[in-house]
Amino acid sequence: MTLFYVILAAIFAVFLVIVVKRRSEPARIERYQNEFGKLYTDTLDVEVTEIVPEALIVQLNKALDYDYMEKVNTEFRLKYPRNSQERVNELWREFKRYLIMAAVFGKVEMFNEVIDELWHIMLNYKKEYDDFCQTFIGQPIQHNPHSQPVFKPEERTLFDFYYVQLFTVDSSSIQKWGKFFKHDKGKELLHEFETLELEQLKEKYMRTPTSIEAEQTFECFTSLFKENRPKIVLDWRERYDQTDYAAPAYFIYASSDNHDTDFNDIFGVEAATTSSDSINVNHGGDHSSTYDSGSSSGSDSSSSCSSCSSCSS
């Protein structure tokens, strides 16, 4: 009889938790929506650089309309309520940078499973996602999941090669993506972009078809590469210290003969210490890991693996 009452009490406790959760969910949704609205402008923080033009950023922000982002943001925070809106906005910045890379280049692997969760939630809204892709580049951005993270050092080096020349690199970047150039400095890529003609590079590395703005970004990427690569960028340290813009500094880093030279030795940025705001991400099979959405340990653990990719094919 005692066991019966214990089981009954346990069932009642579970039922009570479910009822309380359901009653509190509308209040949480309202709070998340209000916080998103107050901090929405921070999600637009993808800056223009020497390579990334304002036109491409404007097109991305136009494609990711407010209502669509709010739905995705709210669903993400309901799943992972320990993440503040400020923390989620950091994920939005890096995800939008990833989308720019996916618009410009032929294949880009995803190396952060927390950011990938935003992508998965976006895909849940098929019409909105299709409309987003059409408005952004006029073509679908295919999502190619893997059953579990795959070790891809060459693809990771390619990701790093693109990222540090397109965007600023700061502590938040390293928190989300882990250490850059952990496996290779990308000297083979340097050689190809230095020696191949534009049309050869387009055929091998550019997404096709894509938008005019994205194609122009690829052309600018190639042009500035060929212009800056042979030069000794005398003011690279001052420029990086003032702006976090990494492109000039990358050439110095890649050209350094000291194989023990670490990326952070040149760029002078360190990932922050591990935060307590962690979330659990499960991408199928038996692979399940806990990631901190703003820590070095979480992102670095997947820095040489990918769970999904974007492909133009």
DSSP 147: E
Q: Which of 186, 170, 175, 162 is nearest to 273 (CA)?
A: 175
Phi, psi angle pair for 271, to nearest 5°: -70, 145
Residue 82 has pLDDT above 60, yes or no: yes
- For the segment 246-275, what is each residue's pLDDT rounded down to a tens digit? 887 888 788 777 766 777 777 766 544 433
- Dump pLDDT digits (tens) for 189-209: 999 998 999 999 999 999 999
**CA–centroid distance for 206 within its chain:** 19
Asked if residues 52 and 165 have their Cβ atoms less than 8 Å apart, the reply is no
What is the model's pTM? 0.83
CA pair distance 180, 167, nearest whole angstrom = 13
What the block records as the tokens of 162 is 């693109």
Q: pLDDT band at 284, cuts 50/70/90?
A: very low
CA distance 179 to 187: 17
Per-residue pLDDT tens digits for 32-41: 999 999 999 9
For 118, residues 6+ apart whose C-beta sits below 8 A from its C-beta are 72, 76, 91, 92, 95
Burial of 309 (0-12, 13-18, 19+ CB in 10 A): buried
